[in-house]
């Protein structure tokens, strides 16, 4: 084990102490294919002496093997990471690069400029303090430049550098640079980008990258690196109120109850009043604890542990905030959503939403419009495809504390997670709360579900029968209802076909209409359960996510998924309504089992194999099961 650090030589000691005060700047480079992005990053790494001999040797070797510069050093290869990508010659993912100078450490997110990878740029931009937008001096402001700039603005990156690259190829002409700068300013002002610095450079030859270029004596501004080293680094706008999402409650013993988190904005001092959201309870900061001792004050960016003066209920997902300036709390928002997945976003489908340290269920109600990132036009949309950006209304299953993204990147950002695959499918930025969510409150009623159900000698519940068309759902549901009614219970049967004649007659069979179909039926079933009824729902309901959304509306123990399991071949053989024949002939589109998938239930409460039991036996079994779990009680 090392026996403590020994005194350092004078020069290295000075160096190390200077290093202690370095700041950190995270930036993103964006540009179109062939704008010289990778070359610029390679140049910065090279010039800041961050390339080692073995890496240079590997670079020289790779440049000969797969380089695009006729065997010359191809800096782009340094930043093109994965084997698959190297062979395709394109960057397909965000790569992070690190270099430092005497003043600052830099983290560079290198993001591909390729058309289909908006996703990657948004990812890299989400953590950036500054964006370097590259333009090829020969080409000027392109559609892709506009797209990158829009995304930079959308993600709230506070500072932008317009790097007009390849100046060597336009004879280092001042007029070219100034024309591009003027063109860009016109466009940038239109989208609200204001904090802008333009620099003419040549990444390939190093002009104005580190040192001023003798080729451009007309340029008197900072070089790129000078600018990156000196741009003001306040982590955020000054004077923002204190906010800290609670990450974890540290309770090593009964005498210590600390709320751990990373401060999102502002600062906090011992003795200050704080409010806990969404509950709204207040207390006072007793102590701010870290492993390095107690702090009198903690600031944005620090991970700390806060102890409060009084015992109030605080848990993960809550937000601690300045007592006199708390954030809003709401459960319905307008937000911009960037879709990150091949499977499109559908209106009405419920996703998990992680915002700060809280995860809730969020349903996209209407998609208001989609934004064309090239023209910034708004178009109507019912779904968002991969790399689409849209403005949506979101409805949460519980209220959260939030701030608009433009005011607070931590409290205004969220990701959407698919409930079934667990993939991160969307990213979002909150605009504002919808007024209806602040004003509409649930009416607390004196006569409730339990009282209504008890009167009927039953516990209210929903039996959700799912299965292929022609599986026997309605037949079984009918018999179950007859038996229950005969025993004196109160029921209602919602049948897919019948509901489509009335409540849902405006809906077709596209994926988003199916989702809406299920949502409405689930909501109706919920009201009926509230009325104390045993509700039978007989719906193909082919998608797991929709069944899960329906289930999420009910209390634990209220939802019984009944899988009426009939193999496709058997259902098609029966073809009671002649629909399979039509579907096979192409007369019916989006028919489940034929050209639209049926996703088998993973863990149904009840599974009926119709190839081995009759509908009557199936109904008897379901009724017996309801009695066994106490849904129905004998007279």
Partner 1 sequence: MPSLTHLKRLESESIHIFREVIAECVKPVMLYSIGKDSAVMLHLALKAFHPAPLPFPLLHVDTTWKFRAMYEFRDATAKRPGVELIVYINQDGVRAGIGPFAHGSQVHTDVMKTQALRQALDKYGFDAAFGGARRDEEQSRAKERVFSFRSTQHHWDPRQQRPELWALFNTRKHAGESLRVFPLSNWTELDVWQYIWQENVPIPALYLAAVRPVVKRDGMLIMVDDERMPLKPGERPMMKKVRFRTLGCYPLTGAIESEAETLPAIIEEMLQARTSERQGRVIDLDSTATMEMKKREGYF
Shortest separation between residue 111's beta carbon and partner 1, angstroms:
11
116 binds partner 1 (CB under 8 A): no
Judged by CB under 8 A, the residue of 48, 101, 127, 437 near partner 1 is 127
DSSP collapsed to 3 states, 601-619: CCCCCEEEECCCCCHHHHH
List the one residue out of 393, 357, 354, 346 whose CA is nearest residue 262: 357
275 binds partner 1 (CB under 8 A): no
175 binds partner 1 (CB under 8 A): no
93 binds partner 1 (CB under 8 A): yes
79 binds partner 1 (CB under 8 A): yes
CB atoms within 10 A of CB 242: 26
- Going by their DSSP bridges, the two strands 248-253 and 256-262 should be labelled as antiparallel
Strands (DSSP E) contained in 309-357 are 319-322, 328-339, 345-346, 350-355
19 binds partner 1 (CB under 8 A): yes
- Going by their DSSP bridges, the two strands 383-384 and 389-402 should be labelled as unpaired
Q: Using CB under 8 A, which residues numbered 298 to 337 contact partner 1?
A: 299-303, 305, 316
Q: Which stretch binds partner 1 (CB under 8 A): 408-416, 465-473, 577-585, 613-621?
A: 408-416
Judged by CB under 8 A, the residue of 29, 145, 347, 357 near partner 1 is 357
First-residue to last-residue Cα distance in the chain: 78
| Residue among 17 and 273 whose Cβ is closer to partner 1 | 17
Which helix (H) or strand (E) segment holds residue 56: the answer is helix 53-66
d(CA 43, CA 46): 5
Shortest separation between residue 193's beta carbon and partner 1, angstroms:
20
Q: Using CB under 8 A, which residues numbered 51 to 70 contact partner 1?
A: 52-55
Q: Which x/- pattern over 190-229 shows residues binding partner 1 (rule: CB under 8 A)?
A: ----------------------------------------
What's the Cα-to-Cα distance from 326 to each of 141, 278, 283, 321, 401, rounded to whole Å?
A: 42, 10, 13, 5, 9
Judged by CB under 8 A, the residue of 262, 279, 437, 478 near partner 1 is 262
| Residue among 587 and 602 whose Cβ is closer to partner 1 | 602
Cβ atoms of residues 365 and 392 within 8 Å: yes
For the question of residue 541 being annotated catalytic, the response is: yes
d(CA 221, CA 226): 9
List the one residue out of 318, 329, 381, 384 whose CA is nearest residue 351: 384
What's the Cα-to-Cα distance from 102 to each of 49, 199, 550, rounded to whole Å?
A: 12, 22, 58
| Residue among 102 and 324 whose Cβ is closer to partner 1 | 102
CB atoms within 10 A of CB 359: 16
247 binds partner 1 (CB under 8 A): yes
| Residue among 58 and 507 whose Cβ is closer to partner 1 | 58
d(CA 112, CA 96): 12
Judged by CB under 8 A, the residue of 32, 39, 63, 123 near partner 1 is 123
9 binds partner 1 (CB under 8 A): yes
Q: What is the CA radius of gyration of the chain?
A: 31
84 binds partner 1 (CB under 8 A): yes
Q: Using CB under 8 A, which residues numbered 539 to 598 contact partner 1?
A: none
Shortest separation between residue 629's beta carbon and partner 1, angstroms:
25
Shortest separation between residue 509's beta carbon and partner 1, angstroms:
30
Residue 245 DSSP SS3: strand
Q: Which stretch binds partner 1 (CB under 8 A): 46-54, 171-179, 322-330, 507-515?
A: 46-54
**Block residue for tokens 């704080």:** 274
267 binds partner 1 (CB under 8 A): yes
Catalytic residue among 202, 469, 474, 541: 541
296 binds partner 1 (CB under 8 A): no
Judged by CB under 8 A, the residue of 209, 321, 340, 389 near partner 1 is 340
Catalytic residues: 541
């Amino acid at each position: 084990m090392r026996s403590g650090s020994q005194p350092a030589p004078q020069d290295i000691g000075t160096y190390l102490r200077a290093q202690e005060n370095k700041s950190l700047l995270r930036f993103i480079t964006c540009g179109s294919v062939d704008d010289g992005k990778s070359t610029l990053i390679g140049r910065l790494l090279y010039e800041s002496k961050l390339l080692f001999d073995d890496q240079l040797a590997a670079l020289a070797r790779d440049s000969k093997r797969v380089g695009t510069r006729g065997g010359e050093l191809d800096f782009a290869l340094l930043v093109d990471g994965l084997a698959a990508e190297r062979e395709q010659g394109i960057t397909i993912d965000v790569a992070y690069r690190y270099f430092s100078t005497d003043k600052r450490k830099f983290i560079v997110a290198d993001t591909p400029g390729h058309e289909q990878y908006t996703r990657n740029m948004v990812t890299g931009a989400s953590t950036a303090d500054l964006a370097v937008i590259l333009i090829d001096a020969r080409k000027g402001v392109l559609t892709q430049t506009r797209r990158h700039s829009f995304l930079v603005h959308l993600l709230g990156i506070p500072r932008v550098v317009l790097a007009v690259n390849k100046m060597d190829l336009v004879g280092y002409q001042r007029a070219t640079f100034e024309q591009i700068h003027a063109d860009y300013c016109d466009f940038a002002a239109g989208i609200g980008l204001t904090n802008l610095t333009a620099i003419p450079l040549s990444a390939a030859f190093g002009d104005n990258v580190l040192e001023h270029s003798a080729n451009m004596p007309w340029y008197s501004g900072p070089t790129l690196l000078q600018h990156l080293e000196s741009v003001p680094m306040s982590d955020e706008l000054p004077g923002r109120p204190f906010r800290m999402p609670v990450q974890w409650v540290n309770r090593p013993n009964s005498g210590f109850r600390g709320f751990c988190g990373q401060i999102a904005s502002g600062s906090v001092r011992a003795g200050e009043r704080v409010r806990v959201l969404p509950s709204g309870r207040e207390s006072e900061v007793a102590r701010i604890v870290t492993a390095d001792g107690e702090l009198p004050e903690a600031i944005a960016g620090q991970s700390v542990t806060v102890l409060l003066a009084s015992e109030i209920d605080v848990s993960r997902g809550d937000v601690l905030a300045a007592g006199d300036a708390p954030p809003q709390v709401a459960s319905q928002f307008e937000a911009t959503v960037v879709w990150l997945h091949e499977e499109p976003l559908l209106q009405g489908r419920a996703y998990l939403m992680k915002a700060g340290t809280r995860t809730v269920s969020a349903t996209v109600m209407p998609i208001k419009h989609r934004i064309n990132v090239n023209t910034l036009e708004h178009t109507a949309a019912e779904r968002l495809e991969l790399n689409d950006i849209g403005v949506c209304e979101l409805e949460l299953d519980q209220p959260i504390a939030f701030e608009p993204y433009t005011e607070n990147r931590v409290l205004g950002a969220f990701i959407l997670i698919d409930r079934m695959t667990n993939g991160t499918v969307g990213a979002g930025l909150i605009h504002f709360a919808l007024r209806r969510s602040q004003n509409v409150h649930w009416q607390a009623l004196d006569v409730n579900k339990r009282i209504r159900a008890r009167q009927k000698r039953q516990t209210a519940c929903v039996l959700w029968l799912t299965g292929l068309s022609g599986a026997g759902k309605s037949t079984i549901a009918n018999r179950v209802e007859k038996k229950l009614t005969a025993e004196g219970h109160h029921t209602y049967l919602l049948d897919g076909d019948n509901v489509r004649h009335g409540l849902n007659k405006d809906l077709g069979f596209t994926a988003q209409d199916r989702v809406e179909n299920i949502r409405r039926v689930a909501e109706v079933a919920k009201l009926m359960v509230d009325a104390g009824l045993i509700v039978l729902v007989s719906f193909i309901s082919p998608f797991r996510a929709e069944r899960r959304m329906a289930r999420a509306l009910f209390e634990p123990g209220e939802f019984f998924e009944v899988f009426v399991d009939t193999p496709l071949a058997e259902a098609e053989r029966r073809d009671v309504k002649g629909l399979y024949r039509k579907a096979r002939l192409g007369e019916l589109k989006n028919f489940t089992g034929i050209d639209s998938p049926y996703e088998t239930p993973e863990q149904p409460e009840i599974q009926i194999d119709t190839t081995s039991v009759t509908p009557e036996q199936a109904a008897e079994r379901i009724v017996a099961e309801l009695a066994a779990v106490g849904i129905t009680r004998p007279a």
